[in-house]
Structures are given as structure tokens and as C-alpha cells.
Amino acid sequence: MADYRDMWNGLGMDLEKHDLLCEALPNAFHEVYISQQNRPEGMDY
């Protein structure tokens, strides 16, 4: 995977907050979307 940290830092992005968000997203995605009851078969993972 490409490393864009220098570019993001140059754009003024808060890299610490970005890292925290990236750590939380997989869990949040699973809790909100993947674990939904009665998901249509075409949306199955």
C-alpha cells in the first residue's frame, strides 16, 4: 500500500486523528453494516 503520510502532513492533516479513525473504522463498519439483521442476500459478505 502506498504511503501518503508526507502528502497528508503537507496538506495540514492531523495524522494522529487520522490514525485513530483508521483504527476505529473496521469495527464501526462491522457493528453498523455487517451485523445488520435481515440484510438482502445480494448484500451478504
Cα distances (Å, whole numbers) of residue 38 to 24, 29, 34: 25, 17, 11
* DSSP secondary structure code for residue 34 in this structure: I
Q: Is residue 40 part of a domain?
A: no
Q: Is residue 22 part of a domain?
A: yes
Q: Is residue 41 part of a domain?
A: no
Expressed as residue numbers, the domain containing 23 is 4-34
Q: Is residue 42 part of a domain?
A: no
Cα distances (Å, whole numbers) of residue 1 to 15, 25, 29, 32, 45: 17, 18, 21, 26, 23
What confidence score (pLDDT) does residue 45 get? 67
What confidence score (pLDDT) does residue 36 get? 81
Q: Is residue 10 part of a domain?
A: yes
Section 19-31 average pLDDT: 86
| Domain total of the chain | 1
Section 33-37 average pLDDT: 80
Residue 24 has pLDDT above 80, yes or no: yes
Section 7-21 average pLDDT: 95
Q: Is residue 45 part of a domain?
A: no
